[in-house]
Structure formats: structure tokens, C-alpha cells
Amino acid sequence: MRTIQELINTTDPGWAIVEQMIDSATNKVEVLPVDTNNAKNALYKTQVTTRSPMGAIIYMTGGILIDNGWIRILGSGSNRLTRTLPDWNKGKSITEFGQPAPFLLIADDAMGGFFLLNGGGLGEDLGKTYYLSADNLEYEPLGLSYTDFLYFCFNDNLDEFYKGYRWTNWNEEVSKLEGDKVFSFFPYLWTEEGKDINKNHRKAVPIEELYHFHHDLRKQLGISE
């Protein structure tokens, strides 16, 4: 594994690019404060350099919240989003830090969807983003690189992307949601009965619990990994 000194790029840091994107963003973007020691630890575990936008976000932020926390982009952890990118992936995409990862969980949303960067385990489009949606439990290719995904979060019409899944008063509820929890819906969003999200019962649950629940459901429903 490369040392932290090898991973910190001071001559061509990726944060300058990310910061420009944030400054010109049309959606609401909140950069969470960073703890230097946590940032170094998370960067070392991830083994990406700060020249890359992902490394820059890990090293320079505790994470990034979009639309009052509807989307949570993982960094090196903070009080409002305690999960770090590498620790969240351990036990899911990797068993030990430094291993090649078939995918990386890079972000998630309040309705229980997960964004993953393909490391080769999701398809031939290496380096592209997928979305594991709560409404069909399928890995959907988005055709976006990590940088493109950031642009999507910062500027795209998220109301259109999540059309039918932003319930009345979602903004108020999501702004109070802890960064390590998501909303669970019943009837399930992937069922015919669960398609009208305003009629569903919802409650906040730990995101770890929902992640494993969705994968158990995929197996029970015969959806291949």
C-alpha cells in the first residue's frame, strides 16, 4: 500500500476542480467539515491520490450533502455523516483495505438507493457509476464517471431523476434525517402496491440494515448479483 505522503498530491490537487464545480452548482451543496487525522486515515485506506476528485473529497471533506441530505456523497466522515468511504465499503465490496474492489459504494440517497463506482464487478464499463434503486432492486448503469456523477449531483434536475419518489414535505423530513439512516417504505417501493410513495408508511432505519435487507431480497427474488 502506498504511504499517505505518496497519496497527497500538492502540485496538481483535484480539489481545485471539485471546488469550482461546487461554486457553480445549481443544486444545494453542503460540504461537511473535515478532521485532518480522519482524512489521512481514510485516504490511506482507500489508496487513491488527492489528484483524483474522489481522493480530493475524501481528504478535504467529511462528505458532501446534496439537497439538504437527499444525496450523501461519502468522504472521510463527520458528525452528520459518520461513515467514511473506505470503512463503509469494508465487508461489502472488500474484506481488507488495499484490495482491488469490484465496486465502490460512493454515495446513497434518503430513499434507500445506492450509487456505486464499477471496479469491474458490475460490467465492462470500468469506472462508470451504477445506481442500486430501491424501486426495482436492480443495478442500473448511469454511464457516468465519478466526475460526471459529481456534476449530476451538483447540477442535474434531481426532481426529474427522482420523479414519483419525492413525497410531500420530503425536504423537511430529509433535512432532519441522520446521515447514517435512510427511509424504509412499506409497502416496498418495488411492489405494485408501493408505487404511490405518498400513501406508503415510512420510517428512518440504519442504512447498514437496509443495505443488507435489499441484498437479501435480491437473492430471495432470484435477481443475480
| Cell 499517505 found at | 4
Q: Which domain, by its residues, includes 166?
A: 4-220
What is the model's pLDDT at position 223?
A: 85
Average confidence score pLDDT of the chain = 96
Give the per-residue pLDDT at 4.
96
> Which CA distances in Å does 184 have to 50, 53, 109?
35, 31, 12
pLDDT at 10: 86
Residue 225 lies in a domain: no
* 150 within some domain: yes
> Domain for residue 92, yes or no?
yes
The three-state secondary structure class of 217 is: helix
Read off the pLDDT of residues 107-153 as tens digits, 9 standing for 90 and up: 999 999 999 999 999 999 999 999 999 999 999 999 999 999 999 99
Per-residue model confidence as pLDDT tens digits over 41-91: 999 999 999 999 999 999 999 999 999 999 999 999 999 999 999 999 999
Report the number of distinct structural domains present in the chain.
1
Residue 191, pLDDT > 80, answer yes
96 within some domain: yes
- 100 preceded by a cis bond (ω within 30 of 0): no
In this structure, is residue 54 part of a structural domain? Answer: yes
Residues linked to residue 184 through DSSP beta bridges, in sequence order:
203
Is 191 a domain residue? yes
Percentage of residues in the chain with pLDDT exceeding 70?
99
Q: What is the pTM (predicted TM-score) of this model?
A: 0.96
- pLDDT above 90 coverage of the chain, percent: 96
Which of these, 102, 104, 165, 156, lies nearest to 134 by C-alpha position? 165
63 in Cβ contact with 77 (< 8 Å): yes
Per-residue pLDDT, 225:
55
Q: Are 75 and 88 in contact (CB under 8 A)?
A: no
- Flag whether pLDDT at 224 surpasses 80: no
